[in-house]
Structure 1
Amino acid sequence: MKDETEGPWLHALSVVRPALVLAPTTFLAGLRDGFARNGVSNAISRHDNGPIYDWVMSLVGLQGISDRVAFAFTAQHGLATWEGVREGLRTRPACSHLQGHWQFRGCGYQKSARTCAEPHLLPSCPLPALPLRKGTLNQAAYSLALFIRDACHGDLVGWIDRRLADADPGFGMTDRAAVMKDAVLSPLSEVHGVGPKVWSMLLADLLLGADPSRERWVATGAAMIAIDSLVHAFLHRTGILRRLECEHPYGPACYGPAGCASVIGGLARRIDAREFNAAHPVNFSRFVQAAIWAFCAEGGYGICNGNKIDDRQRCDQIYCPAYSTCDRIVFRVK
């Protein structure tokens, strides 16, 4: 990646600015209002796992499918709940994989094939009873519950507090947020069926919005970034990746040393997010990522996406607010 003092970063800042200007100034307030309404903020103050778990599971099901389809399925069939899964574990299932968090690996439940690692125990197993869209989600529900019970000793909020406090290198350290982020993100990646991208998205919002009085939570959440295909495509089309000499295919490389996440982090370090809302943290990677996503997504402004742009040729949207500074690089080779 190019040195931060060179021209490519100036180009990146100029082409991203329209997205930042268009981004809702109420981004942070919206998160906090949402958590107040759904009871998660209150649950955190009481160290109550239930509402937090239920909120996480309501969003885990969005993986690999459109939000509309996922929400329609949930409305018809229901969700995994903390109380429901705890009740399943209280039945003391015979399966060795349900004995604890560290034993869960290898469960292998497949809803469509109606099989698992120990199929002879399926008739009495509580895991398949969850009304979820696919077996991986059933596994995620039990894996997360076991993680909270065993790895967090039954207190997810307390576990997050301890992990962040133990990892905190102190105010003023340039890598403070990154170190604290890894302290919670790495262990949570052991939960089956919930990838780092999804955890980054969930934790960013939870840590930022659920309890503003927890300074470490806010600092860590502000630095968390989830890269989806829209953000990656924006960074490619605009020429940001090429100018910074960090072009790469969409996927795991987005989180590499010269990936999209590093680029978003680099942009955030050069943007004082208080310009857009005085309540924002100065360095606010999540806001930068969310602004780009909203600029591209059909659910936002829908400006920079494959529905508006023929990716076999250069973008010709002359009314795009970034048009004059955008390199308009072809996203797909003909």
Structure 2
Amino acid sequence: MAAKPTALSTELLEGHDHADAFIRAVCTFAGSLSLLDEIDAEFRDSGLDQAVASGNTPPIFDWLLTAFSFQGISDQVARNYMEKHGSASWANMEASLQACPSCPKLQSYWNYEGCRYDKGSFTCAEPDHIDACPVPRPLLRNGRLNVLAMSFHLFVRDIAEGDLVGWIDNQLESARGSTNADLETARQEALIGPLRGIFGVADKVLTNAFSWLMIGARNQRPLWFEAGKAMVVVDRLVHHHLFRSGIMESFGSPHRYGSGCYAPGGCAEIIRGAAERIDARSFNPRFPKIFPRFVQHALWSWCAADRLDVCNGNRINDQKPCQLSYCQVFRICGRKPLKST
């Protein structure tokens, strides 16, 4: 593969041409050329290849639950805690529920709402049952993760009927769209929408984990790959980056971070549109031609403090245009002050 350039001197472009040139440049500097290799290694090392092939839910559940635990804290701290104290697992949770705990909230996924278990005070919404309750048993980092683990387990047991692979297949096959972009959005919503009811996991966490899983399964389930490679996560870093760079303004859709990011003309649509015009095979011939997940991951990596750490509030005074003249894309960046957006 060709080496990445070290500088960029193109003059500021306008409109969609500006967006495409800018995003392509960020992909050049921040895109992970080994993204598929990283996903494949994780997939094999976690036994997900065999689990997906055989439709074996427990290893997939355990991997997803671990992925959900990497939120609200650095990856290293979360990993160290799990290495020391362990984590929740399908097998242990299934066994604890087969013992028929007395708490009425543990009778089904639908009953579980409002558990309110708190690790520090050892309290919950049903204090008369807490001493025999399985929710606190895993030594997780905080009580919210304990509640999340049980909520996810009950979802898989009751909604997915214990068959995660089959449930994902059905959700993706049920999605419809009049255009390719509509279909990609519909597939993501068909999968992520029902999962929003699980306690303690937002769209960002769900989409990150499931897109990784589905890309890894590409040799076994092509439809999973089609959905996974198109799944886009818009967090504050990516949203603010699209605003600061002037890309959001060039599309005529400035908006605050939130639901507008996924609305027509929002951040997700901007990223998917750019991905359709950027041939990802120019970065790695093994990539699919259209690879929105790669593009989004590059934008995030450009901003994240534990990655390239360039475009973020730690580096830029949001009341003023960016002054990072050493930035490789400085000359084609709109450098819009973020202000109160």
- TM-score (norm: length of structure 2): 0.89
Question: Deviation per CA, 1:210-268, whole angstroms, max 9, x where unpaired?
Answer: 34331110010111111222212211111111222222222343233343222212222
The one of 56, 71, 91 equivalent to 2:64 is 56
Is the 2:243–2:338 Cα contact (8 Å) retained in structure 1? Answer: yes
Cα shift at 1:169: 5.9
Distance 1:209 1:235 in 2: 28
Distance 2:237 2:39 in 1: 21
Cα shift at 1:168: 5.4
* Change in CA separation of 1:252 and 1:11 when aligned onto 2, cut-off 3 Å: same
Given the alignment of the two structures, is residue 209 of structure 1 paired with residue 216 of structure 2, yes or no?
A: yes
Aligned to 1:275: 282
Aligned to 1:3: none
Distance 2:68 2:335 in 1: 34
Is the 1:16–1:322 Cα contact (8 Å) retained in structure 2? Answer: no
Distance 2:326 2:45 in 1: 38
Equivalent residue runs for 1:150-299 within 5 Å: 150-167=158-175, 173-299=180-306
Structure 2 residue ranges without an equivalent (≥5): 1-12
Equivalent residue runs for 1:23-38 within 5 Å: 23-38=31-46
Equivalent residue runs for 1:62-81 within 5 Å: 62-81=70-89
Is the 2:32–2:294 Cα contact (8 Å) retained in structure 1? Answer: no
The one of 9, 14, 18 equivalent to 2:21 is 14
Cα shift at 1:64: 2.1
Structure 2 residue matching 1:51: 3-state secondary structure: helix
Cα shift at 1:124: 0.8
The one of 129, 132, 136 equivalent to 2:137 is 129
Equivalent residue runs for 1:84-99 within 5 Å: 84-99=92-107
Question: Deviation per CA, 1:113-145, whole angstroms, max 9, x where unpaired?
Answer: 322221111011010112112222111111111
RMSD value, Cα: 2.1
Cα shift at 1:8: 1.7
The one of 39, 45, 64 equivalent to 2:53 is 45
Distance 2:263 2:131 in 1: 43
Distance 1:106 1:164 in 2: 30
Is the 1:44–1:211 Cα contact (8 Å) retained in structure 2? Answer: no
Structure 2 residue matching 1:331: 3-state secondary structure: coil
Structure 1 residue matching 2:136: 3-state secondary structure: helix
Question: Deviation per CA, 1:258-310, whole angstroms, max 9, x where unpaired?
Answer: 43222212222222222222222232211111011112223322222233333
Distance 1:40 1:95 in 2: 33
Cα shift at 1:7: 4.5
* Change in CA separation of 1:329 and 1:179 when aligned onto 2, cut-off 3 Å: same
Structure 1 residue matching 2:316: 3-state secondary structure: coil
**Identity of aligned pairs, percent?**
38
Aligned to 1:318: 325
Q: Supply the AA of the counterpart residue of 2:130.
A: L
Farther-moved stretch of structure 1 (83-92 vs 266-275)? 266-275
Cα shift at 1:208: 0.9
Q: Supply the AA of the counterpart residue of 1:142.
A: M
Where in structure 1 do 4 or more consecutive aligned residues deviate above 3 Å? none
Distance 2:14 2:322 in 1: 23
Is the 1:238–1:328 Cα contact (8 Å) retained in structure 2? Answer: yes
Distance 1:17 1:47 in 2: 38
- TM-score (norm: length of structure 1): 0.91
Q: Supply the AA of the counterpart residue of 1:83.
A: A
Cα shift at 1:75: 2.8
Farther-moved stretch of structure 1 (215-224 vs 128-137)? 128-137
Is the 1:164–1:184 Cα contact (8 Å) retained in structure 2? Answer: yes
Aligned to 1:138: 146
Farther-moved stretch of structure 1 (224-233 vs 118-127)? 224-233
Structure 1 residue ranges without an equivalent (≥5): 1-5
Is the 2:242–2:267 Cα contact (8 Å) retained in structure 1? Answer: yes
